[in-house]
Amino acid sequence: MSWSGSSSLRAWIAFGALALAGCANPTVEGTAGTDPPVETPPGSAGSTGAGMVALPGIPPGGAGGASGSPAMGAAGSGGLGAGDMTCAAQAFTPKEVPVDIHILFDSSLSMDRAAGDRSKWERAVLATNAFVTDPKSVDLGVGLTFYPNRTPTNVNTCRIDYYTTPAVTLAPLPMNQAALTAAINQRQLCCDTPTRPAMEGTLMYLRSHAMMNPDRRPIFLLITDGLPNGCGPGNTIESIAEFLTAARTGSPSINTYAIGVFSDEDRAEGEPALNSWATAGGSGMPFVLSATEDLGQKLLDALNEIRGSALGCQFAVPDMPGIDFLKVNVRVQSGSGMEEIPYVGSADRCDPTSGGWHYDVDPTTAAPTRVVVCDATCRKYKLDPAAKVDLLFGCKTRTID
């Protein structure tokens, strides 16, 4: 199990299924939550081989405040009685949810401008080919759509339906490698920048793909060197940000990452636009690259970082009976101490600074299939090589106010 990012952080997450019909009686005296979870070695009495965990009802330094303070007062989170102070849970190691990244690649005429002794397009092609042939990308799903999609029959490149069929359909690498490299190498540059209609058509395809592949996480990646151009009043920076917010908060939730390749004169306008799109899409800051000699390496570095950021933030719920989804808590131990991550309920309530976690569906209406760690939380702990994340079933969920 790994949370892989630019720092190559190795971490693990422990899932627990409720082992007893209710919570056990307290096994320690003194202030609740002053001791860390205690794991019984595999094969010990009461263990099924994965190890039993004694989970204090109120964690040290967690969402409920200092050690010994009451839990948060949100519905379903506070007022623990004496019988709730220590709960028994069975620990399991989950599977990371595999990731599908669909790339919307700007192939407008401006990509032919110089970046050192080669064009921006030539350097972008080299970097993308290196990314899809990298052994670290094996099992990563990658698809590709170009914009503008101008052909002898596609004259009006502002039509959304020109972008609902990708140049390369999503499939895991290395199975998709030959199709991706062929499409990129053969692409002809053309025309202006119909960003909004291209995004709408691409996300229609990606949403449909995600609904047919619910066991995989969809990611949308924009690579561009320019601002929206033409296609009427809806093709604006502001309307695109609203559209990407809706994609992030919808079902299935789709996060947007953005890479911008700008000359010095374009950067002043381009960087704020990408900032707003990446923020709306839930990925935080975009990657803003200069059109210089080292563009190819910087673009490859950005693609690698996005791959690492996308992986390891969602985990499959183990398929077993008896899970009470209202008794789940996420806790992180790191070099700075122990912190409880609050449950925020849904993707649209992920705080851009403090993060949180939620399920893929509302547990009161359907059984969740995955636990989703908000991007702000995921990014924070990927930077700490000592981070250890525990997710345990069995004690009442601590929620955010």
Three-state SS for 328? Answer: strand
Question: What mean pLDDT do residues 259-275 have?
Answer: 87
**58 and 110 share a domain?**
no
Picking from 94, 96, 85, 95, the residue whose alpha carbon sits closest to that of residue 394 is: 85
pLDDT band with cut points at 50, 70 and 90 for residue 94? low
Per residue in 108-124, pLDDT tens?
888 888 888 888 899 99
Distance, in Å, from the CA atom of 70 to the CA atom of 344, rounded to the nearest integer, reads 19
**155 and 292 share a domain?**
yes
Question: Who has greater pLDDT, 49 or 204?
Answer: 204
**302 and 361 share a domain?**
no
Q: Write the DSSP string, 145-164.
A: EEES---SS---TT-GGGGS
Segment of 40-49, 255-264, 317-326, 367-376 carrying the highest mean pLDDT: 255-264
Per-residue pLDDT at 3 exceeds 80: no
Measured at the CA of 74, the angle between CA 68 and CA 80, to 5 degrees, comes to 40
pLDDT band with cut points at 50, 70 and 90 for residue 353? confident
6 domain residue, yes or no:
no
399 domain residue, yes or no:
no
**218 and 244 share a domain?**
yes
Per-residue pLDDT at 12 exceeds 70: no
**264 and 280 share a domain?**
yes
Who's near 251: CB < 8 A, 6+ residues apart?
Answer: 361
List, in sequence order, every residue forming a beta bridge with 340; answer none if it has no partner: 331
Phi, psi at residue 274, to the nearest 5°?
-65, -35
Last residue of a domain, one of 282, 310, 338: 310
Which pair of tokens denotes residue 146? 């170009």
Dihedral sign of CA atoms 314, 319, 324, 329 in order: negative
Three-state SS for 80? Answer: coil
Q: For residue 181, what is the enclosing H or E element? A: helix 177-186
pLDDT band with cut points at 50, 70 and 90 for residue 91? low
**181 and 272 share a domain?**
yes
Specify the pLDDT at position 132.
93
Q: Which domain holds residue 335?
A: 13-94+320-393
The CA-based dihedral angle spanning residues 31, 33, 35, 40, taken in that order and rounded to the nearest 10 degrees = 130
What is the Rg, in whole angstroms, of the alpha carbon atoms belonging to the chain?
23
**Number of domains into which the chain is organized:** 2
**300 and 264 share a domain?**
yes
Specify the pLDDT at position 93.
55
Picking from 301, 276, 330, the residue whose alpha carbon sits closest to that of residue 5 is: 301
Per residue in 364-399, pLDDT tens?
888 888 888 887 888 777 777 777 777 777 888 888
Last residue of a domain, one of 284, 310, 336: 310
Last residue of a domain, one of 288, 310, 332: 310
383 domain residue, yes or no:
yes
**109 and 84 share a domain?**
no
Question: What mean pLDDT do residues 189-206 have?
Answer: 92
**276 and 379 share a domain?**
no
Instruction: Write down the mean pLDDT value for the chain.
Output: 76
4 domain residue, yes or no:
no
Worst-scoring range by mean pLDDT, 99-113, 193-207, 263-277?
263-277
Residue type at position 378:
C
pTM of the model: 0.70
**161 and 138 share a domain?**
yes
**215 and 328 share a domain?**
no
**207 and 103 share a domain?**
yes
We report the CATH number of the domain holding residue 257 as: 3.40.50.410
